């Protein structure tokens, strides 16, 4: 690292990993409930476990993005973060709001709106927290010496993400309109502005890891995020096929969302292309694994598995089944969890000065978590497709079908155990690095 204040990123990553572990625990609670072991039902019924599982996902990813931004923005702007103290305040308040929300879910304190379960009074605290975060980032960026494309794209993603949170806070009497605007938040986040954050972090990593000229990388960054928005904004329509909105979404939503994989395909070509173009290889092989991995797995999980059920004729049958869970798991893992892992892998040697570049644990973390997640995706997929045929095509009762597909959830639990083992290795590596220190400050971390 170049600036003292970049050390704050470490604490964001530590919190993110802690929340991830908790997320996985609640995932297991749901997995066991699905095979009939729901002993915790009285205290943690399925809807609580699910709200905690998905909300922790959102919170730990955002925590990871924030950590990445606190590292990237000073380095790109060539200026210390304007206030480290306020960044700590932001971190602690973020953790407090998150924990309050999660605890509240166990006491029926929530809003049953998928992914946006945080009750509205707490929403205002989230807004204050995010404003503080954005204030620190923007002030650093605009007082700094440089405003690079990478930094601007990352910041743009963060600002848009904050703005898009607002439509989700409005109350609507009509369930359809409620859902309509809920997707403005959820869809336009994950298939829109979060991809700007992903793109910004990916570009930063590629600049550092491959040594390819910044101008070339940033040019392709524009192309990728251009493809993302052009397909993804109207692609929101794939959530509007069957919720009481017009036929126009079936036509245009279908066409544009079928184009969404191109942005991810471009990201694969871009990442692998830059990796091969870079003449000097950075010794941090683990970071390269995760960086190339995120491009490939996001293309498969978000791009291809999304495409698999995005056409209206298919979606009429798969909508509201476990097929969505199949896509959701690999998409979030590939596009967002892996980029945070890539970033952590890249920065830990820089923050601590310990160069644990090629460890057995690091590789085990990568392969076990990925193979485990692919297995989980397959289990959800098989269960989902069977559900579609039995329930939607043949008209069997929901509960009977769930019994028939129960066996796939044993596979899910087995694969999830493998996944958790991988994540555990990653955390062990993280802990081995120890805390960040000022002795690790150097002029330039780009490959020599």
Partner 1 sequence: MMLSKKSAKVFFFGGTIVTFAMFLVMSFMTLTNEVPKRTHEENLSAEVIAGKKIWEENNCMGCHTIMGEGGYYAPELTKVYDRRGEGFIKAVLQSPVPWQPRGRKMVAYNMNDTDAANMIAFLKWVGEMDLNGFPPEPDYKSTKNNKK
Write out the binding residues for partner 1, residues 96-135 only, by CB under 8 A: 105, 108, 110-114, 117
Shortest Å distance, C-beta 415 to partner 1:
18
* CA 100/CA 122 separation, integer angstroms: 9
Shortest Å distance, C-beta 287 to partner 1:
26
Question: Mind giving me the DSSP string for 34-89?
Answer: HTT--TTTTTS-HHHHHHHHHHHHHHHHHHHHHHHHHHHHHHHHTS--S-HHHHHH
* CA 361/CA 376 separation, integer angstroms: 22
Q: Which of 88, 124, 242, 269 binds partner 1 (CB under 8 A)?
A: 242
If the CB atoms of residues 131 and 248 are measured against partner 1, the closer one turns out to be 248
If the CB atoms of residues 110 and 426 are measured against partner 1, the closer one turns out to be 110
47 in contact with partner 1 (CB under 8 A): yes
- Which region, judged by CB under 8 A, interacts with partner 1, from 2-10, 12-20, 250-258, 275-283? 250-258
Shortest Å distance, C-beta 371 to partner 1:
24
- Which region, judged by CB under 8 A, interacts with partner 1, from 85-93, 290-298, 315-323, 410-418? 315-323
Q: Which of 85, 107, 395, 444 binds partner 1 (CB under 8 A)?
A: 395
As to burial, measured by CB atoms within 10 angstroms (0-12 exposed, 13-18 middle, 19+ buried), residue 138 is middle
Q: CB–CB of 367/422 below 8 Å?
A: yes
244 in contact with partner 1 (CB under 8 A): yes
229 in contact with partner 1 (CB under 8 A): yes
Give me Rg for the CA atoms of the chain: 21
What lies within 8 Å, CB to CB, of 117 at 6+ separation is: 51, 54, 55, 101, 105, 110, 111
249 in contact with partner 1 (CB under 8 A): yes
Contact positions with partner 1 (CB under 8 A) in 328-387? none
34 in contact with partner 1 (CB under 8 A): yes
- Which region, judged by CB under 8 A, interacts with partner 1, from 80-88, 242-250, 279-287, 340-348? 242-250
* CA 82/CA 140 separation, integer angstroms: 5
Q: Which of 241, 374, 425, 433 binds partner 1 (CB under 8 A)?
A: 241
Q: Which of 218, 293, 309, 347 binds partner 1 (CB under 8 A)?
A: 218
Q: CB–CB of 266/286 below 8 Å?
A: no
Q: CB–CB of 265/291 below 8 Å?
A: no
Contact positions with partner 1 (CB under 8 A) in 135-164? 149
Shortest Å distance, C-beta 122 to partner 1:
15
Contact positions with partner 1 (CB under 8 A) in 413-442? none
38 in contact with partner 1 (CB under 8 A): yes
Contacts 24+ apart (CB under 8 A), 138-142: 139/82, 140/73, 140/74, 140/77, 140/79, 140/80, 140/81, 140/82, 141/73, 141/76, 141/77
Shortest Å distance, C-beta 15 to partner 1:
25
41 in contact with partner 1 (CB under 8 A): yes
55 in contact with partner 1 (CB under 8 A): no
Shortest Å distance, C-beta 404 to partner 1:
11
**Angle formed at CA 239 by CA 229 and CA 261, multiple of 5 degrees:** 40
At 122, phi and psi to the nearest 5?
-75, -25
In whole angstroms, how far apart are CA 381 and each of 298, 309, 311, 386?
17, 11, 17, 8
């Amino acid at each position: 690292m170049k600036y003292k204040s970049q050390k704050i990123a470490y604490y964001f990553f530590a919190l993110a990993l802690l929340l991830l572990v908790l997320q996985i625990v609640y995932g297991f609670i749901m997995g066991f409930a699905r095979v009939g072991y729901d002993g915790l039902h009285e205290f943690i019924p399925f809807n609580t476990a699910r709200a905690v599982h998905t909300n922790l996902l959102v919170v730990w990813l955002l925590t990871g993005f924030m950590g990445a931004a606190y590292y990237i923005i000073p380095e790109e702007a060539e200026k210390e973060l304007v206030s480290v103290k306020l960044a700590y305040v932001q971190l602690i308040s973020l953790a407090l709001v998150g924990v309050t929300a999660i605890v509240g879910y166990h006491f029926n304190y929530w809003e049953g709106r998928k992914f946006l379960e945080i009750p509205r009074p707490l929403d205002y605290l989230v807004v204050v927290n995010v404003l503080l975060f954005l204030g620190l980032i923007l002030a650093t960026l605009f007082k700094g010496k440089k405003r690079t494309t990478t930094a601007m794209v990352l910041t743009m993603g963060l600002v848009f993400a904050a703005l898009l949170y607002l439509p989700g806070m409005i109350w609507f009497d009509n369930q359809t309109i409620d859902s309509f605007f809920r997707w403005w938040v959820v869809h336009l986040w994950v298939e829109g502005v979060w991809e700007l954050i992903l793109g910004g972090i990916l570009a930063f990593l590629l600049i550092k890891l491959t040594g390819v000229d910044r101008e070339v990388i940033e040019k392709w960054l524009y192309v990728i995020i251009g493809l993302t928005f052009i397909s993804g904004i109207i692609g929101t329509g794939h959530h509007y096929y069957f919720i009481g909105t017009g036929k126009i979404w079936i036509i245009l939503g279908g066409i544009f969302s079928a184009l969404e994989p191109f942005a991810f395909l471009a990201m694969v070509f871009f990442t692998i292309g830059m990796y091969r173009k870079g003449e000097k290889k950075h010794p941090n092989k683990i970071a390269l694994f995760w960086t190339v991995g995120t491009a490939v797995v996001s293309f498969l999980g978000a791009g291809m598995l999304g495409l698999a059920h995005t056409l209206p004729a298919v979606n009429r049958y798969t909508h509201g089944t476990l097929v969505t869970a199949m896509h959701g798991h690999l998409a979030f893992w590939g596009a967002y969890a892996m980029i945070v892992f890539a970033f952590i892998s890249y920065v830990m040697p820089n923050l601590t000065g310990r160069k644990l570049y090629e460890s057995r644990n690091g590789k085990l973390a990568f392969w076990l978590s990925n193979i485990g997640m692919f297995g989980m995706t397959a289990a959800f997929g098989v269960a989902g497709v069977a559900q579609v045929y039995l329930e939607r095509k043949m008209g069997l009762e929901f509960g009977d079908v769930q019994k028939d597909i129960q066996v796939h959830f044993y596979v899910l639990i087995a694969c999830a155990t493998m996944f958790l083992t991988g994540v555990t290795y990653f955390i062990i590596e993280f802990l081995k690095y120890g805390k960040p220190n000022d002795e690790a400050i150097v002029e330039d971390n780009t490959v020599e």
